[in-house]
Amino acid sequence: MKSQNRKTSETKREKPWGGRFTQATDSLVERFTASVHYDWRLYRHDIRGSRAHARMLARRGIIGQDDLEAIIKGLDEIEHEIEQGVFRWRQDLEDVHMNIERALVEKVGEPGKRLHTARSRNDQVALDVRMYLRDEMGRIDRLLACLQGSFVAQAKARSDLLMPGYTHLQRAQPVLWAHHMLAYFEMFKRDRQRLKDLLKRVNLCPLGSAALAGTGFPIDRETVARELDFDGVTANSMDAVGDRDFIIEFLAASSLIMAHLSRLSEEMVLWSSSEFSFVDLPDSFCTGSSIMPQKKNPDVPELVRGKTGRVYGHLMGLLTTLKGLPLAYNRDLQEDKEALFDTIDTVAMSIEVMIGVVSGMKPRRDRLASAVKTGFLTATDLADYLVGRGVPFREAHRIVGQAVAMCVEQGRELTDLSLAELKELSPLIEQDVFDVLAPEGSVGSRNVPGGTAPHQVKTAISRAEDWLNDNGAL
């Protein structure tokens, strides 16, 4: 009964693709295949692409000048209606492309019906997604630049501050806070380089590929590509409508951005715990507990860490979608959009919130100072000191290991040992050993390019600033 009702109401509906069909689409199929509830967000790019396509058709005499004028006027109105939120999106018209085209025909009549000459939705959707993605990549790149700026600001504001550096999450050697901050600068630098590189492959115009084989109309692909700010045109029509590599590359680049944000988040969570108490996170970027009044929770970095999983998932998902597809276009490819849109939203917002966390976090000098003094962080420096006096490194390593074992047993630090006690370990040790055992001495000695010595870090800060100046957003 129910399904009969459904069919009767459906048969009245006119099919968007007209002649071939005698039966209306089952409403279940309509819901299953529709993408307009998410791909509507391509509307601006869809309309921009259509304008350029129509202008080219007119220039080439494929449509008339009055057709062009009607089309442009209609598209302008449609864009305005969408922006005002008064455009009525129809699920039965499947996607953003058919919705806009139908609205155009309803507005301007016959000229609207000429717009799709020499074009297929297959090259149209590839065009829209490429234009949309390139804009969003620009936005993400700007956010990353801003995040990099927050790390530079943190580094510059506390250029003398020491903290423990870790390996295996065990205190290892003292480092400058600024050095740690600039480690993140480098990660996001690579992320931005990856975006810039993949933009070369995104920014090619697929229009003119039509359904899969190109078109018989005397179109002009190059001018359209230039008008739409592309660097060139795609080389093979079949590849151009079937290719989603550029989205996968973007999802992979996004996965690495999220990996870096997640590692940063993990440190924010650790550092703000009472066990570490290395930093205070800004109140405005933390949340409370509904039951425990004392809590100040790092939900923002936790969520960023958590959201990393969904971005990795989208990458895996689209790789899997693509793997068994014969050439050229297959409807499976429609599955690219939700993965892409959600990745863009997730990555952009995660960067944005982490900019807030990073710029607002305040290191706790007292805690960091006492942390660098405990845990034998300068044991390597003592070994290196002995090496400087002719002891082979392996031997020096053994001597200092014994000293550490003795200290552990007695609950002391290396700096607590007297010169006499140290001399018992090795008669080569002199008074100047205490400069070496001090964290400042240790940091200062690591004066190699890329090392944590203040001089090196100062250079690294100015290099980072130069890099930011030279690498404006995409």
Candidate residues 175, 195, 286, 333; the one interacting with ligand ARG per rule CB under 6 A? 333
Q: How far apart are CA 215 and CA 413, in angstroms?
A: 79
Pick between residue 334 and residue 350 the one whose CB is nearest to ligand ARG: 334
Q: How many residues sit in the footprint of ligand ARG (CB under 6 A)? A: 9
Residue 244 makes contact with ligand ARG by CB under 6 A: no
Is residue 178 within 8 Å of 159, Cβ to Cβ? yes
Question: CB of residue 57 vs ligand ARG: minimum separation in angstroms?
Answer: 20
Half-sphere exposure of 391 (CA within 13 A, CB side): 20
Is residue 191 within 8 Å of 206, Cβ to Cβ? no
Pick between residue 132 and residue 385 the one whose CB is nearest to ligand ARG: 132
Q: Is 397 a catalytic residue?
A: no
DSSP 290-325: SS-TT--B-HHHHHHHHHHHHHHHHHHHHHHHHHTP
Site stretch for ligand ARG (CB under 6 A), options 186-194, 248-256, 326-334, 421-429: 326-334
Q: Is 168 a catalytic residue?
A: yes
Pick between residue 122 and residue 452 the one whose CB is nearest to ligand ARG: 122
Question: CB of residue 123 vs ligand ARG: minimum separation in angstroms?
Answer: 9
Q: How far apart are CA 382 and CA 27, in angstroms?
A: 77
Question: CB of residue 24 vs ligand ARG: minimum separation in angstroms?
Answer: 17
Kindly name the residue from 9, 289, 370, 462 that is annotated as catalytic: 289
Residue 125 makes contact with ligand ARG by CB under 6 A: yes
Question: CB of residue 39 vs ligand ARG: minimum separation in angstroms?
Answer: 6
Pick between residue 210 and residue 333 the one whose CB is nearest to ligand ARG: 333
Residue 237 makes contact with ligand ARG by CB under 6 A: no
Candidate residues 173, 334, 343, 346; the one interacting with ligand ARG per rule CB under 6 A? 334
Residue 221 makes contact with ligand ARG by CB under 6 A: no
3-state helix, strand, coil in the chain (%, to 5): 70, 5, 25
Is residue 165 within 8 Å of 238, Cβ to Cβ? no
Residues 29-58 that bind ligand ARG (CB under 6 A): 35
Amino acid symbol at 110: E
Site stretch for ligand ARG (CB under 6 A), options 119-127, 194-202, 362-370, 448-456: 119-127
In what helix (H) or strand (E) does residue 171 lie, and over which residues does it extend?
strand 170-176
Q: How far apart are CA 460 and CA 453, in angstroms?
A: 10
Q: Where are the alpha helices (DSSP H) in 324-438?
A: 336-360, 365-373, 379-388, 393-410, 419-425, 433-437
Residue length, the chain? 474
Pick between residue 41 and residue 194 the one whose CB is nearest to ligand ARG: 41
- Residue 262, φ and ψ in degrees, nearest 5: -70, -40
Question: CB of residue 56 vs ligand ARG: minimum separation in angstroms?
Answer: 21
Candidate residues 51, 53, 119, 121; the one interacting with ligand ARG per rule CB under 6 A? 121
Pick between residue 302 and residue 335 the one whose CB is nearest to ligand ARG: 335
Pick between residue 67 and residue 95 the one whose CB is nearest to ligand ARG: 95
Half-sphere exposure of 386 (CA within 13 A, CB side): 22
Question: CB of residue 51 vs ligand ARG: minimum separation in angstroms?
Answer: 19
Longest dimension (CA), the chain: 101
DSSP 98-161: HHHHHHHHHHH-HHHHHTTTT--HHHHHHHHHHHHHHHHHHHHHHHHHHHHHHHHHHHHHTTT-
Residues 130-189 that bind ligand ARG (CB under 6 A): none
Residue 394 makes contact with ligand ARG by CB under 6 A: no
Q: Which residues carry out catalysis?
A: 168, 289
> Could you list the residues that contact ligand ARG (CB under 6 A)?
35, 95, 121-122, 125, 329, 331, 333-334
